[in-house]
Amino acid sequence: MTSGDGSVSARNVRARVFKIVGFLVLAVALYELPLQYDRSTVTKFTTVLCYALAALGLNLLTGFNGQISVGHGAFFGIGAYSAALLVSQRGWPAWATIVLGAVLAFVVGLIVGLPALRIRGVYLALVTLALATLFPAVIVRYSDVTGGTQGITLEGKQRLNSPQFARDAGITNSQWRYYIALVVAVVAFILVRNVVKSRVGRALIAIRDNETPAEVLGINVGVYKVLTFGISAMLAGVGGALFTFNNDGVAADVVDIQLSIILLVAVVIGGVATFAGPAIGAFLVVFLESFFPENLRGKAAPVVFGILLILLMMAAPGGILGLVKQQWAKLAQRFSRADQPSHVA
Amino acid sequence: MSALLEAIDLVGGYGPVRVLHGLSFDVQPGEVVVILGANGAGKTTTLRALSGLLDDVKGSVKIEGEDVLGLRPDQIVRLGVAHVPQGRGTITDLTVEENLRLGAYVRRDADVQQDIEHWYSVFPRLGERREQPAGSMSGGEQQMLAIARALMSKPKLVLLDEPSLGLAPLVTRELFTRLGEINRTTGTAMLVVEQNANLALELAHRGYVLETGQIVAGGSASELKSDETVRKAYLGY
């Protein structure tokens, strides 16, 4: 018993050291990333961060709370368009448009979440699908305000550019946007992680797994479901607002139904109900095509992408992170078995 | 002294299907009461009505004299009624300890960890498996977890929906022994609906017999045990 405790605590310490080293390496990598690549690649990294924010929100809703949304592209779009409109037509500062975009997405998320009190599963997916198809149509319909398919382009001072002190330090506009998005994404990641690990998170998972026991444990299921929808939409909205600033504008075709699907795919291939999964998935949906051989890019890319998705789901139903965890557990088991004789001796 | 729980003339069901046809019963503080009944008699529906899970229900449910019919399930939990649903309702993806923490969801005090340790001492198997996902445990262990979890809310009354369901006879016996101990040491009242009449009447102080949504007999456990019709229909001798 006591020797067992000893090895367990030793293993805990080792795991903690691993974790700290891992986080440090990751922090340095995320900091260095924009300094090592050209402008267009850095812009792509920032796109990853924007998608990762939306996927983080979607994962909170679908992964941890069990409510499927095929409409997160619309919440992303609400954030993107409120930022573009407020900054270009009202002259708001960038940070304020991001905040308002988040609030708007939150409110619309709450409203869309209301039917979720009565319907679930496939039916809820259909409602959100309707939202995903409705949103771009509304943008095109009111093109006198939204610019329709032409979109809105930010000019001059409307753009989120590197401020003087950062430029003095040699940070370009695209790098500055990357760092802004990185800080927002990291804060959001930490918040979501803390929430999921708390009393609230246990309630979310209980609702996902089994609603009736959740109710009789004293959880107000309705409030949780609707609020989760709102918060999830809010994260997508923040991602969308940052997306607008990263691209100096937005147009109807970037917030169409394909975006909703891409976000869902990002969550699933990264690993549903994991913390890092959405970010990994977001990276893959943005960069996967550039790993393809030259003749498979462009029109052929969605086909290859689809095939890869099917293969991945067959090989790793838990997504990439699920696969990594599984292999890690196997490895750890082998190591601990190798450890055993030395402990006995 | 007013009853801990009093149900008067409950009528209800699911949409056009009426399951409860006007039943009345009560549970006194500290008492174990069993409701016996065959499949489809309305046992589960009765418990659902008591804990606010049944939308379509009329009559009156009083907890310590206060009318609670129409309240949401989470409000009823806060009045001190815990419900162990049929099929246990453990959250399989959460660990044993996380399930117990969920049981304390309505509590705001600082003694939660202390209480978790207490239930580990009552159910040592749970302590051994505290870091394991609840879904990895056997049916009996999950039932113990569901009971411990319900007690984590420090209820005055626990509703138990067929705790013996799907358990081996030995495990069921062990479970009922524990329930008796818990009742004696904590004074928590219990309302148990069961098909296993033998064990249930050993545990209970009092009982009712439910048939097609109506109470057809009631009395002390020993009275029910010696009742001719109860013996034939539910005790099998």
B98 contacts on A by Cβ (under 8 Å):
202
Minimum Cα–Cα distance from B75: chain A residue: A218
| A219/B74 Cβ within 8 A | yes
Task: State the nearest Cα–Cα gap between B147 and chain A, in angstroms.
Answer: 12
Of B3, B175, B177, B164, the C-alpha closest to B81 is B3
A119 pLDDT band, cuts 50/70/90, is confident
Query: Residue A342: what pLDDT?
Result: 44
| A218/B91 Cβ within 8 A | no
Query: Residue A186: what pLDDT?
Result: 95
For B164, residues 6+ apart whose C-beta sits below 8 A from its C-beta are B172, B175, B176, B194, B195, B196, B199
Cβ contact A244:A287 at 8 Å: no
Structure tokens at B131: 């870091």
Sort residue B199 into left (φ over 0), alpha (ψ -120 to 50) or beta: alpha
Minimum Cα–Cα distance from A208: chain B residue: B91
- Cα dihedral A224, A230, A233, A234 sign: negative
Name the B residues in 192-231 with CB < 8 Å from any A CB: none
**Three-state secondary-structure class, residue A13:** helix
CA distance B231 to A327: 58
- Cα dihedral B116, B122, B123, B128 sign: positive
- What chain A holds in terms of domains, given with CATH numbers, is 33-294 (1.10.3470)
Is the interface score ipTM higher than 0.85?
yes
Could you report the per-residue pLDDT of A244-270, keeping only the tens digit for each? 999 988 988 888 888 999 899 999 988
**Alpha carbon A8 to chain centroid, angstroms:** 34
Could you report the per-residue pLDDT of A302-327, keeping only the tens digit for each? 788 788 888 888 888 888 888 888 88
Cβ contact A92:A66 at 8 Å: no
| B78/A209 Cβ within 8 A | no
**What does the pLDDT profile of chain B (237 residues) look like in tens digits?**
579 999 999 999 998 899 999 999 999 999 999 999 988 899 999 999 999 999 889 999 999 999 999 999 999 999 999 999 998 889 999 999 999 999 999 998 889 999 999 999 999 999 999 999 999 999 999 999 999 999 999 999 999 999 999 899 999 999 999 999 999 999 999 999 998 888 999 999 999 999 999 999 899 999 998 888 788 777 766
Task: State the nearest Cα–Cα gap between A224 and chain B, in angstroms.
Answer: 12
CA distance A72 to A59: 11
Strand bridging mode B5-14 / B17-27? antiparallel
Whether the predicted pLDDT of A344 surpasses 50: no
Query: Residue B57: what pLDDT?
Result: 92
CA distance B191 to B194: 10
Q: Touching check for A217 and chain B: CB below 8 Å?
A: yes
Q: Touching check for A118 and chain B: CB below 8 Å?
A: no
Q: Touching check for A218 and chain B: CB below 8 Å?
A: yes
CA distance A73 to A64: 19
Which residue of B86, B88, B90, B93 to mutate against A (max A Cβ within 10 Å)? B93
For B100, residues 6+ apart whose C-beta sits below 8 A from its C-beta are B116, B119, B126, B145, B148, B149, B152
| A218/B73 Cβ within 8 A | yes
Of B85, B210, B228, the C-alpha closest to B150 is B85
| A202/B89 Cβ within 8 A | no
Q: Touching check for B90 and chain A: CB below 8 Å?
A: yes
- Write the DSSP symbol of residue B123: S
Residue type, A183: V
Q: Touching check for A157 and chain B: CB below 8 Å?
A: no
Query: Residue A339: what pLDDT?
Result: 53
| Average pLDDT score over residue span A138-150 | 85
CA distance A279 to A56: 7
A337 pLDDT band, cuts 50/70/90, is low
Query: Which residue in B52, B89, B101 is closest to A202 by CB distance?
Result: B101
Say which range, A13-27, A76-90, B45-59, B152-166, has the weakest mean pLDDT: A13-27
Query: Which residue in B92, B93, B106 is closest to A218 by CB distance?
Result: B106
CA distance A288 to A236: 21
Query: Residue B104: what pLDDT?
Result: 94
B146 contacts on A by Cβ (under 8 Å):
213
Inter-chain contacts counted by CB atoms under 8 A, chains A and B: 65
Minimum Cα–Cα distance from B153: chain A residue: A217
Of A63, A207, A81, the C-alpha closest to A143 is A81
Whether the predicted pLDDT of A2 surpasses 60: no
Task: State the nearest Cα–Cα gap between A210 and chain B, in angstroms.
Answer: 7
Q: What is the model's pTM?
A: 0.87
Domain formed by B5-90+159-235, architecture: 3-Layer(aba) Sandwich (3.40)
∠ CA A99-A102-A107, nearest 5°, is: 130
CA distance B51 to B38: 21
CA distance B38 to B33: 17
Of A282, A275, A208, A245, the C-alpha closest to A54 is A282
Say which range, A144-153, A206-215, B40-49, has the weakest mean pLDDT: A144-153
Query: Residue A4: what pLDDT?
Result: 45
**Three-state secondary-structure class, residue B64:** coil
Count of Cβ atoms closer than 10 Å to residue B54 Cβ: 21
CA dihedral B75, B77, B79, B80 (to 10 degrees): 180
